[in-house]
Structure 1
Amino acid sequence: MHHHPANTQCDCCQGQMTAAGMTIVREEAKFIPATMKRVQHIEHAYECRLCKKDTNQKAQIKRGKAPQGAIQRSIAGPTVLAKLIYDKFIQYLPLYRQVKEWERYGLLTNDKNLSNWVIRVAEDWLLPVYELMKQILTAKSILHVDETYAQIINRSDGKSGQSNAYNWVFRSVPSQGPIIVLFQSALSRGRSVLEEFTAGFKGTVICDGYSAYGNLPNITFANCWAHVRRYWLKADSKNGEIGVDYCDQLYRLEREFKHFSPSKRRKARQKYSKPIVEKFLKWVDESPFFGKNALATAADYTLNRVKELKAFLFDGRIEIDNNPAENAIRPNVIGRKNWLFSVSEAGAKANALCLSLAETAKANGIDFYQYLVKLITELPNLPIHQQPVILNDYLPWSKNIQATCAK
């Protein structure tokens, strides 16, 4: 903003003064609220008057074609739907709190409407992208897996809405192409969920020591050293400190190996990490840790998973811990405090779809809001079911998305 004197007439000679310079004295941020507009799509028809005069010939008519909306017979356009999903899954703003914000902009609605919009968009336009990413993910040979509890009020299994449901997360590793993060909503934490999702998958699953992770066909398991370290940290004693120190030695090496190629990392682990692992396991095995105290629990946890804890030594693509999956699931944990629960299983599934695209977009440097606008605007007008190959151009790492939606 420019500020001029109220009077530019000289007080001495009464002559008109001329500009002599300017000084920037401060800067301030100015917030310009968003505006809501009603956009009408009007199709115009044209006819040929010359043909119309000829009674033996039917007049030719051409009509403009309006693009299909994401939700038929709904006032919600792509930008509204994108902001709705963005605010819930990136800003962690629950739908009931969004209602008043939309009213401020002139869109009168309620949280049930907003919930239905999220479910419809997720099922119709986000699910096809999710399913393609799942095909790509399960064709890889290494997966991070983790799970956290959720809550669904209206459950199909007859259990109370107070019973725990779960959100599972599956994440690829950087050495096997673009990062993919997929969530799956489930009513249980049982092995059947993992079996269903990984059907056709052959390779290694990196996970914690939960018993559901085990004895699945064509799958080997690598366990998480971060969990081992936590158990020894809980054993608040001199021996607990020794256990933690062994783990810390491995982590110091991993920081050195971070940017190595998988083959070079495997060789380095064999040379430097393997002796530490062997020494640690020998120490645990020979130490008299008995009973139900924290020290005995740490020892049992470690010795019951020797094969799985050694897996990272033989494959440079395997991470030493499951932290990437735990980090990926954190937005669900944070959001859970604001969303509280899902009313229906359809809502929980929609949440999982939205979180999947949000976290995968984030991992690939994509602006999630812009990505949503593009998906919701363009996919309804493309033959994605007849020609599913089109969806390859809408994956977060595709040239199309990287060129138009990068941060």
Structure 2
Amino acid sequence: MTTPSDPSEPLELPTDPAALAAMFLAERAARLAEQEARLAERDARIAAEADAAEARAGTSSRDAMITYLQLMIEKLKRELYGQSSERGTQKLDQLQLQLEECEAAATEDEVAAILSSSTATPRRRPVRKPFPDHLPRERVVLPAPTSCPCCGSARLSKLGEDVTETLELVPRQWKVIQTVREKFACRACETITQEPAPFHPTPRGFVGPNLLATILFEKFGQHQPLNRQSERYAREGIDLSVSTLADQVGAATSALQPLHALIAAHVLAAERLHGDDTTVPILAKGKTDTGRIWTYVRDDRPFGGSDPPAALYFASKDRRQEHPDGHLWGWRGILQADAYGGYNGLYDPRRPKGPVTSALCWSHARRGFYELADITAKARRGSAAAVSPIALGAVKRIDALFALEREIIGRSPEERVRARQEASKPLVDDLAIWLQAQRQTLSRSATVAKPIDYVLKRWDRFAALLDDGRICLTNNAAERALRGFALGRKAWLFAGSDRGADRAAAMATLIETAKLNDVDPQAWLADVLARIAAIPQSRLPELLPWNWRDEATDRRKAA
């Protein structure tokens, strides 16, 4: 049978019933196939629209989650050293990791959507800040067209230009500086004249001040051991063995000793110090000893002091009382610290230089209660113990005291005392009465009794801040100063010797003091090492971090 090409022509039907039935069956099968194809196309279109809607909803939900996490991280950063430092420290890393995962997943989905569909729209991102002005610009001009791509005419005139900026990293550049000293002979008296040899930061030094500052800062500021630095330099084609680097570190530490002495004198001239210590493993014969790094921080900014902040570090083999007695043997003032008994010799009224005034840290007091009221930590440890209502009540009362204290930061001591007598004293007195009442209801073995006794037995030293505006509520300044050692010892595992620990303490004094004064430690060390060998002893104070200014650092701050 032939199908007519013109639909207006009459359709010839077969006369045989069997052939006629076969024709109708074929026509029906064709219509059913066409209908199934249309239905399949419609289902595919509906599924694609549903997937697109789900993707849009998922993107919207993910963007909302990213915005929420960013807000939470900023909030916790502001609260990190406030009333809830434990909560902030606990949650901040988790939120940042969750934000990182959300951002990475969102970008992966966006790239996949763009590759699979030309109609996909990129997700909205926050407006990027312009790159700092102090960065050098390399201008790459693409070749201009020689003729019009439309008509082929060569009569082109420039209308302007669009500039796309890309941030790039140039690998570290090594160079050898050759200092040439020419010799001249006098024809009249035959005297030979020559410029003196340049000063080096270290005796027989062959390492420039910038490289030496990099080695020091990476070892003591970034906690990168010398063997790792040596391996990295070798990959860059520079052979600097560990023994060579160690020799330079020892020489540089000795060269910087005069500045360390000036910083130590400045710290020990303070009216009030923050004191604390942390463990540092020190290599011994066939084992490691648990040594200590001690810090004493001078920071008068909370009570409006104008003297620059500074930090002083010491190292010791153990934690015996003789160490703080020796560190502060000639000092007298207010010591903010924890209730460690090794400081008791400083508080002794029979002390030859006079007793040191003790001021305890409310963060330590709060921490004992917070550990019993932290629901998240209990769930993470799988503990079934219920949250202590007494501990929770103590945390809330102490947090109210922290809230008042944040309002008077930076005021003069007199203003702080006046504000504390008006607003903080009623809270402190109420807390003492409440803790005593709760303690009477508890047995000796009650868990919450320990932090209550810790506070009540030392109540006078906790309440000392009500009568002295120079005293801070917490000892967080010293704890922040030790954070680098707490994190760094995971990288370098142990100090190589007692002298190595002393060297680390000396360099930490320089680096942390620079940080406290908002100075780039590496840039400061490079400039100091370039100048310290030639500068007169009387002008050494010019090199102290609070007297030193670097134009590049100022430009970065302005940017």
Q: TM-score, normalised by structure 2?
A: 0.66
Cα deviation, 1:225-278, whole Å, max 9, x if unaligned, reads: 001001111233111111111211110110111132111001111221122112
The aligned runs of 1:5-404 (5 Å cut-off) are 5=144, 8-10=146-148, 15-24=153-162, 26-51=164-189, 59-122=190-253, 124-154=254-284, 161-174=287-300, 175=305, 177-216=307-346, 217=351, 218-236=355-373, 237-287=388-438, 288=440, 289-384=442-537, 389-398=538-547, 400-401=548-549
Cα deviation, 1:181-205, whole Å, max 9, x if unaligned, reads: 1111111122211111112111110
Q: Distance in 1 between matches of 2:155 and 2:323?
A: 81
Q: Distance in 2 between matches of 1:26 and 1:405?
A: 27
- Segments of 5+ residues of structure 1 without an aligned counterpart are 52-58
Residue equivalent to 2:142: 3
SS of match in other structure, 1:397: helix
Letter in 1 for 2:483: R
SS of match in other structure, 1:215: helix
SS of match in other structure, 1:381: coil
The alpha-carbon deviation at position 9 of structure 1 amounts to 2.9
The alpha-carbon deviation at position 311 of structure 1 amounts to 1.5
The alpha-carbon deviation at position 325 of structure 1 amounts to 0.8
Figure out how many residues of one structure are paired with residues of the other and give that number.
389
Letter in 2 for 1:112: S
Letter in 1 for 2:296: F
The alpha-carbon deviation at position 169 of structure 1 amounts to 0.9
Q: Distance in 1 between matches of 2:217 and 2:319?
A: 28
Q: Distance in 1 between matches of 2:168 and 2:282?
A: 42
Letter in 2 for 1:119: G
Q: Distance in 1 between matches of 2:196 and 2:429?
A: 70
SS of match in other structure, 2:449: helix
Do the aligned residues in 1 keep the contact of 2:294 with 2:315 (CA within 8 Å)? yes
Q: Tell me how large the CA RMSD over aligned residues is.
A: 2.1
Do the aligned residues in 2 keep the contact of 1:67 with 1:381 (CA within 8 Å)? no
Do the aligned residues in 2 keep the contact of 1:87 with 1:93 (CA within 8 Å)? yes
Distance 1:11-1:202 versus aligned 2 partners, 3 A rule: closer
Q: Distance in 1 between matches of 2:306 and 2:324?
A: 21
Cα deviation, 1:200-230, whole Å, max 9, x if unaligned, reads: 1111100011111223132111000001001
Q: Distance in 2 between matches of 1:265 and 1:173?
A: 16
SS of match in other structure, 1:162: strand
Distance 1:293-1:244 versus aligned 2 partners, 3 A rule: same
Do the aligned residues in 2 keep the contact of 1:115 with 1:347 (CA within 8 Å)? no
Distance 1:228-1:29 versus aligned 2 partners, 3 A rule: same
Letter in 1 for 2:268: T
The alpha-carbon deviation at position 14 of structure 1 amounts to 5.2
Letter in 2 for 1:259: G
SS of match in other structure, 2:188: helix
The alpha-carbon deviation at position 393 of structure 1 amounts to 1.2
The alpha-carbon deviation at position 110 of structure 1 amounts to 2.3
Cα deviation, 1:131-167, whole Å, max 9, x if unaligned, reads: 111112112110000101001113xxx7x64221111
The alpha-carbon deviation at position 71 of structure 1 amounts to 2.1
Residue equivalent to 1:55: none
Do the aligned residues in 2 keep the contact of 1:395 with 1:401 (CA within 8 Å)? no
Q: Distance in 1 between matches of 2:152 and 2:455?
A: 92
The alpha-carbon deviation at position 85 of structure 1 amounts to 1.4
The alpha-carbon deviation at position 89 of structure 1 amounts to 3.2
The alpha-carbon deviation at position 20 of structure 1 amounts to 3.3
The alpha-carbon deviation at position 93 of structure 1 amounts to 2.5
Residue equivalent to 1:54: none
SS of match in other structure, 2:435: helix
Q: Distance in 2 between matches of 1:66 and 1:74?
A: 12
SS of match in other structure, 1:370: helix
Letter in 2 for 1:24: D
Letter in 2 for 1:322: N
Do the aligned residues in 2 keep the contact of 1:332 with 1:355 (CA within 8 Å)? no
The alpha-carbon deviation at position 339 of structure 1 amounts to 1.7
Q: Distance in 1 between matches of 2:234 and 2:364?
A: 47
SS of match in other structure, 1:120: helix
Q: Distance in 2 between matches of 1:173 and 1:267?
A: 21
Distance 1:267-1:336 versus aligned 2 partners, 3 A rule: same
% identical aligned pairs? 30
Distance 1:193-1:12 versus aligned 2 partners, 3 A rule: closer
Letter in 2 for 1:271: E
Greater Cα shift, 213-222 or 85-94: 85-94
For the pair shown, the structure with the greater C-alpha radius of gyration is 2
Do the aligned residues in 2 keep the contact of 1:151 with 1:161 (CA within 8 Å)? no
Greater Cα shift, 323-332 or 33-42: 33-42
